[in-house]
Structure formats: structure tokens, C-alpha cells
Amino acid sequence: MLWASAPVTASERTLAQACRSDARKFCTSLRPGEGRIVTCLRENTRQLSAACQFQLNKIDTCAVEVQQLCADIPDEGEKKQCHKDRRTKLSAGCQAAAGD
């Protein structure tokens, strides 16, 4: 199995499903965990299936939104709480992706 553990969120499940064959093709030599597979996929973006490219882009877009959401909070512990408190300010797509 290429994913270190079972995907937890809806976006992780969707990414794993969309990119499974691409990960097998480009990332089989990597040990799963610590984002290695996703990093490998990003390094091979131009060769990935359209579905996998779309899901990676969607996740990257949401990551930027989440970072901007609490950029004014320096403490990591407080930042986690901030993300929970301000979650409704994310776009609908990112709220759904983070939903599970």
C-alpha cells in the first residue's frame, strides 16, 4: 500500500482514489509517510492523470486558504484553535474537503 495509513478526510480519500495508479507508477520506491507520496506526485505533476492533477490542485488551493485564515496567529497551539473557530470562513469547497 502506498499510503502510510488509511486516508482520514474526504479530500484525502478522494486524492488517494484519484492518484492511486499514478502513485504506483511514479512513487513505488518511496516509503509511505511524512508526505513522501504527495511530494512525489507533485514532482511528477505534468505526467499525472487529469483526475490526480485536479485533486492535487484542489488540496493546494485549500492549504493556501487555511494558511491565510490564521496567518495573524504566531503560536501553533492557538493556530489550531483558530482554524477550528474560523473554519466557516473557508470557501465551501475547502469546508467540504476538511469536513470528515
DSSP-assigned letters across all residues of 49-87: -HHHHHHHHHHHHHHHHHHHHTTT---HHHHHHHHHHTG
pLDDT at 99: 60
Question: Is 78 or 8 the better-scoring residue by pLDDT?
Answer: 78
Question: Which of 39, 33, 42 minimizes the C-alpha distance to 2?
Answer: 33
The mean of the pLDDT values for the chain is: 83
Whether pLDDT at 2 is above 60: no
Of 2-16, 24-38, 80-94, the least confident? 2-16
CA distance linking residue 79 with residue 42, whole number of Å: 26
Cβ(15)–Cβ(55) under 8 Å?
yes
pLDDT at 1: 41
- What is the pLDDT averaged over residues 52-69? 87
CA distance linking residue 44 with residue 54, whole number of Å: 13
